[in-house]
Structure 1
Amino acid sequence: MIIAKVIGNVWTTQKEKGMENLKLLIVRPIGHDNEFIEDIFVAVDRIGAGISETVLITKGSPAQKVCGDQNTPIDAAIVGIVDSYDIA
């Protein structure tokens, strides 16, 4: 899983079958010092995350399972909104 910051929204008028009611957000992974560490990507959001929130993301086939259909073209999904975390 990946910890990331939500930095934007994606709006589409046409989507593939199975994605019609899915919200898409632009996210960017962050490191232990809260700095951006990787390039941005788009993730499906079914839990109601918003701009500037820190989120937990799963990628690959587990992301497809979040949407309930293995044939939906999903690569990343937000699976949690992070309240806090500690690094020793």
Structure 2
Amino acid sequence: MLIGIVVGNVWATRKEDSLNGLKLMVVQRLDLAHNKLAESFVAVDCVGAGIGERVLITTGSSARKALYNQESPVDAAIVGILDQEEMMGKKPESD
């Protein structure tokens, strides 16, 4: 699983049928060990996350399981909204 920050939305009027009705979000991966942002990618939102929220993301076949659709062409899904993180007894700096 990954930790990231939702930085935007994606709208696609034409897409694969199994993606209809799914909310697509742009997420930027967060590297907590170095307190920096890494690559961005698109993830299906399973929990109603909003822009600016820190989220828990699952990838690969686990992302499809979160959607309950093994045939959907999804490789990343937001499965949680984080309240806080802690690294070696310290909370990360807030933005």
Could you say which TM-score interval applies, normalised by the shorter chain? over 0.9
Matched residue of 1:5: which SS?
strand
In the alignment, what sits opposite 1:35? Answer: 36
Instruction: Give ranges in structure 1 of 5+ residues lacking alignment.
Output: none
Give, in whole Å, the separation in 1 of the partners of 2:73 and 2:42. 12
Instruction: Give ranges in structure 2 of 5+ residues lacking alignment.
Output: 89-95
Count of residues paired in the alignment: 87
Shift of 1:59: 0.3
In the alignment, what sits opposite 1:22? Answer: 22
What aligned pairs does 1:1-88 form with structure 2 within 5 A after superposition?
Answer: 1-32=1-32, 33-36=34-37, 38-88=38-88
Give, in whole Å, the separation in 1 of the partners of 2:77 and 2:50. 14
| Amino-acid identity (%) | 49
Q: Which amino acid aligns with 1:44?
A: V
Higher Rg: 2
Q: Deviations over 1:31-84 (max 9, x none)?
A: 125420x21100000211000100000000000111111110001000000000
Q: Give the alignment's TM-score, normalised by structure 1.
A: 0.93
RMSD: 1.0
Q: Which runs of 4+ in 1 moved over 4 A?
A: none
Q: Flag the structure with higher strand content.
A: 2
Q: Give the alignment's TM-score, normalised by structure 2.
A: 0.87
